[in-house]
Amino acid sequence: MPTMSSTTATIRLPDAGLPPAAEALRGEVREFLRVERDRGTIQSTSDAWLAGFDAGFSGRLGDRGWLGMTWPRRYGGHEQPSLHRFVVIEELLAAGAPVVAHWVTDRQSGPALLRYGTEEQRRRLLPEMARGRSFFAIGMSEPDSGSDLASVRTTARRDGAGWRLNGTKVWTSQAHHCDYMIALCRSSPRDDDARHDGLSQFIVDLRSPGLTISPIRLLDGEHHFNEVLLEDVFVGDDMVLGDVGSGWSQVTSELAFERSGPERFLSTLPLLVALVRVADPDDRRQAVAIGQLVAQLWTLRRLSVQIAAALDRGEAPDVAAALVKDLGTTLENEIIDVARSVAPTEPSATAADPFARELARAVLHAPGFTLRGGTNEVLRGIVARRLGLR
């Protein structure tokens, strides 16, 4: 007879709370956000972590010591516990604050540099990143490489004391505003029997000669994504990230940072807040629909705290992280459905009614929720594999 053993152990993490010091920090962050809201820098709109680029805001966060929080002091970091960083980011996300400028830099580029960068790279690049003055973009996807990242075709060819990069990167968020892109390239020819070999990562200055950035507009016309064309772009040996040929293992560990955070269920929280503003507490149907959403949101946040605590203990809760992303992005969409049913409104970006504007924004951004950071189908595959099915 089966016991509550392997499967349960795979998906189940111990309940966790946040330490009192982290909760105290929460108060400071809320006060900071109140001031920012008063000065009009926070619009509290859905999907602000994709679309809200404000270098000044990121700079003020850096000045408060809320970027690179966990990094060593010698690289400009603040050596804070990771659970403190968790509190800061969940408060920023819940507020719909414009975090885009530093988002990738703080979440994955910095940690990747800390893990794989040379001492010289860390000393030169990390302090400005932690100050919120230097911003990084991701250079992984290509026109023919979405979920299947090992199929990247951008090449890196040896040239004297460096490399020449040729190829095209796409979906490069905010490349038109950022300073650097960490590009995954094929540095030796593809071997079909070992397709994960021969990949390397390069830190590319986005102002390099031979590099052309052009917009890929979202369906609502907004410009966040770019195509980055690399034509004989030179990258010196001092800007190789990690070991030549180890790109695959480096990016997969980087993607783990991308998957587990509260951004995976908070994208439409501003719409839910707007819904609470217009709903009627005495209407039972509305109360039930909103109560069900709040119950899910609360549950996912508790799971997310569990994951943060597990990461803090040095564990790698990849299945739980994949599940949160799957459940969370589904909830982000469900919030839209409930909003439509509880408060029927024609969504419009030009409406005077803020609820109609918020709904419009959420509807038009929703297709991205279940794509970015690994499609939900890829994530379900990861979960099934870890459960021993595939």
Residues that bind another protein (CB under 8 A): 1-5, 7-8, 11-15, 17, 26, 90, 94-95, 269, 272-274, 276-277, 279-281, 284, 286-292, 294-303, 306, 319-320, 323, 326-327, 377, 379-381, 383-384, 387-390
CA distance 89 to 67: 10
**Minimal distance, residue 69 CB to another protein, in Å:** 18
**Minimal distance, residue 237 CB to another protein, in Å:** 43
Residue placing its CB nearer to another protein in the complex, 292 or 348: 292
**DSSP annotation string for 73-127:** GGGT-----HHHHHHHHHHHHHTT---HHHHHIIIIIHHHHHHH--HHHHHHHHH
Residue placing its CB nearer to another protein in the complex, 17 or 72: 17
**Minimal distance, residue 378 CB to another protein, in Å:** 11
154-157: Cβ within 8 A, 24+ apart: 154/183, 154/184, 154/185, 154/186, 154/230, 155/185, 155/186, 155/187, 156/185, 156/186, 156/187, 156/200, 156/202, 156/235
Residue placing its CB nearer to another protein in the complex, 207 or 390: 390
What residues contact 356, with CB distance under 8 A and at least 6 apart?
345, 346, 347, 348
Residue placing its CB nearer to another protein in the complex, 200 or 306: 306
CA distance 88 to 212: 35
**Minimal distance, residue 12 CB to another protein, in Å:** 5
Task: Give the residue from 270, 265, 294 showing the smallest Cα distance to 354.
Answer: 270
**Minimal distance, residue 4 CB to another protein, in Å:** 5
Task: Give the residue from 137, 131, 110 showing the smallest Cα distance to 67.
Answer: 131
**Minimal distance, residue 333 CB to another protein, in Å:** 14
CA distances from 66 to 33, 60, 303, 385 (A): 12, 9, 23, 37
207: left (phi over 0), alpha (psi -120 to 50) or beta: alpha
**Minimal distance, residue 43 CB to another protein, in Å:** 15
**Minimal distance, residue 50 CB to another protein, in Å:** 19
Residue placing its CB nearer to another protein in the complex, 90 or 106: 90
Residue placing its CB nearer to another protein in the complex, 143 or 291: 291
CA distance 7 to 388: 9
Task: Give the residue from 45, 50, 46 showing the smallest Cα distance to 173.
Answer: 50
CA distance 46 to 156: 38
**Minimal distance, residue 57 CB to another protein, in Å:** 19
**Minimal distance, residue 371 CB to another protein, in Å:** 16
Residue 346 burial (10 A CB sphere; 0-12, 13-18, 19+): exposed
- Distance from chain centroid for Cα 335: 20
Residue placing its CB nearer to another protein in the complex, 205 or 353: 353
Residue placing its CB nearer to another protein in the complex, 66 or 265: 265
Task: Give the residue from 48, 34, 99 showing the smallest Cα distance to 271.
Answer: 48
Residue placing its CB nearer to another protein in the complex, 218 or 343: 343
Query: Are the beta carbons of 216 and 178 closer than 8 angstroms?
Result: no
Residue placing its CB nearer to another protein in the complex, 142 or 326: 326
Strand 136-139, strand 180-186: pairing: parallel
